[in-house]
Structure 1
Amino acid sequence: MVDDPKKIAVIGFGAMAQSLLASLRRSNSRLEIGAALLPTEFRNGTEDQHEITLLSSADELIAWKPSLVVECAGHQAVHTLVPAVLEAGVDVVVVSIGSLADPGLLERLEESARRGKSRMTVASGAVGGLDVLRSAKIAGLDDVSYTGSKPPGAWKGTPAEEAFDLGSLRENTVIFDGTAADAARLYPKNANVTAAIALAGIGFDETKVTLTADPASSSNIHRVQASGAFGRFSITLENRPLPDNPKTSWLAALSVEQSIVRHFQNIEL
């Protein structure tokens, strides 16, 4: 396999992947996405405008011999495609971190990477402070909690829409209070953030999650708090949406680009 920084492939070609492709082309990193795994039934013609190679299967992707694959297609792709790519010896950046809440998947991916002598990393996504959690975990964490707040309309299509009249809310309202495991299962669109925190810290069953709908807010707000032998930690982020897709955090897209850049750096700072 040739370690060519221009032989980067993505799985999926939605708003996240398209934003990533455009941002890399604007940068001076010399990195470029050259191919996308996108089955024929999911193509709408717009991907042809980006002048990239289109692939239809994991076998075609592996035969293209990418130096790095970036998964941008959702939980199912992590289950069905990423193990084969890792076992073929290709490094992967996973964007759909929430999939790792599924029982047994992380162990399966680790075994695939071991067999292929490859490496899988996860993008930090829309939330920060994960480096602090990973470091603090070494000495021992006592408590980790995450509070996610979004405008009521952002919770449409989730269990919150059935339990609350989202359009009539007049104050910040708790729509979920429980563990990261339950939050990832009930609110899969928010699972990437909760999974990232749980994996960096004390796990899905011990991480506390509160989700709220705030009619006074126009952005997504993430608050992470932790305590342990190291002391106490708190961070709050107010994220703007991706310009091309208001349902996706801009910071999440930027974190994927940063993961790619770091992968090809000789010195990681």
Structure 2
Amino acid sequence: MRLGLIGFGNIATTLLGLMRQQGLRVEHLSVLTLPGMEDDTRARLDRDFAGAAEGAEVVTDATGLLAARPDLVVECAGHAAVTAHVPPVLRAGTDVVIVSIGALADAELLALVRKAADEGGARLILPAGAVGGIDLLSALGTAGGLTVRYRGVKPPRAWEGTPAAQILDLGTLSEAAVFFTGNARQAATDYPRNANVAATLALAGAGFEATRVELVADPAAPGNVHEYSVDSPLARYSIRIENQPSAGNAKTSVTTVWSVLREIRNRIGPVAI
């Protein structure tokens, strides 16, 4: 498989490390990075990920990425990258896995990427990321009548640099504090690096407005905790997942990277599960 990566931050480098650990080697790897970062990205690829692919190159735009003829592209660079690079890649007929699912809380962008995928005959793949049960939620969603409530709990340091820091004194917090209550669209828009799970649940189930969200900073949190409940005419269920944060980025659950790895493994292997 020829693999393309949009971004070369914590998620991308962790993903490549896991691929090497699991013995997953691709035919060709292309990495889209910011202009001016080409030399640094190339050096890190050579130093830390030699052997990850039979061939590798670094590009700075979607045109360069598409010239490498990837079979699958993984976006892991944030909301702005989804807007800038995902539509042309889909329009060219290449499937894309989007990690920054919260970007799709923008209704215009969601319509744009869907149209691009349709025009290119490509698939926009939304991985489960840090949460489970998405297969069941998506199945129940087609029947309608859903009530979905999500609660995201993370240690205070995971909320640094977000609007939560203007509401709470994160450095001295001694007990759990709710700082956001609203719908999934508001959560994904206001907390773009922390609320991708809320967007995933919304897209799979009841929609952005109907998915209720509560965000919490808790110094006693065992990690990044995602819990949600679903009430449907067909079934009821609740899920609680205690995720460990990704090394080097407290905002991201490490299971998010494993979820992307699953998408790649399902492409490479003879069985998809």
Q: Same fold (TM over 0.5)?
A: yes
1:163 and 2:167 matched:
yes
What is the DSSP-based 3-state SS (H/G/I as helix, E as strand, rest coil) of the residue aligned with 1:190? coil
1:213 match: 217
How many residue pairs end up in the alignment? 264
Counterpart residue identity of residue 68, structure 1: L
1:50 matched to 2:42? The reply is no
Q: Separation in 2 of the partners of 1:242 and 1:12?
A: 16
Query: Cα offset for 1:161?
Result: 1.1
Using the alignment, how far apart are the partners of 1:168 and 1:253 within structure 2? 31
- Which digits, 9 at most, give the CA deviation of each residue in 1:103-160, with x for residues without a partner? 2212211211122111110121111111111111133233101000111222111111
Aligned-partner SS, 1:28: coil
- Bigger shift: residues 81-90 or 46-55: 46-55
Following superposition, the deviation at residue 93 of structure 1 comes to 0.9
* Within-5 A mapping of 1:1-269: 5=1, 7-31=2-26, 34-43=29-38, 45=40, 47-51=42-46, 52-269=56-273
SS of residue paired to 2:195: helix
- The question of whether the paired residues in 2 share the 8 Å contact of 1:82 and 1:92 is answered with yes
SS of 1:224's equivalent?
strand
Following the alignment from structure 1 to structure 2, what is the Cα–Cα distance between the partners of residues 9 and 247? Answer: 24
Any conservation in 1 of the 2:159–2:251 contact (CA below 8 Å)? Answer: no
Gapped regions of structure 2 (runs ≥ 5) = 47-55
Comparing 255-264 and 28-37, the one that deviates more: 28-37
Encode CA deviations 1:10-33: one digit per residue, 9 max, x unaligned.
Answer: 011111111111211222344466
C-alpha deviation, 1:266, in angstroms? 4.3
Root mean square deviation of aligned Cα: 1.7
Of stretches 244-253 and 87-96 in structure 1, the one that deviates more from structure 2 is 244-253
Alpha-carbon shift at residue 180 of structure 1 (Å): 0.8
Distance 1:117 1:185 in 2: 29
AA partner of residue 32 (structure 2): L
The alpha-carbon deviation at position 44 of structure 1 amounts to 6.4
Is contact 1:21-1:32 (8 Å) kept? no
Compute the TM-score of the two structures, normalised by the length of structure 1.
Answer: 0.92
Per-residue displacement from partner, 1:65-85 (whole Å, max 9, x unpaired)?
111111111111111111111
The percentage of aligned residue pairs carrying the same residue is 43
Instruction: Judge conservation of contact 2:194–2:252 (CA < 8 Å) in 1.
Output: no
Contact kept, 8 Å, 1:147 with 1:209, in 2: the verdict is yes
Q: Distance in 1 between matches of 2:41 and 2:112?
A: 34
Unaligned runs of 5+ in 1: none
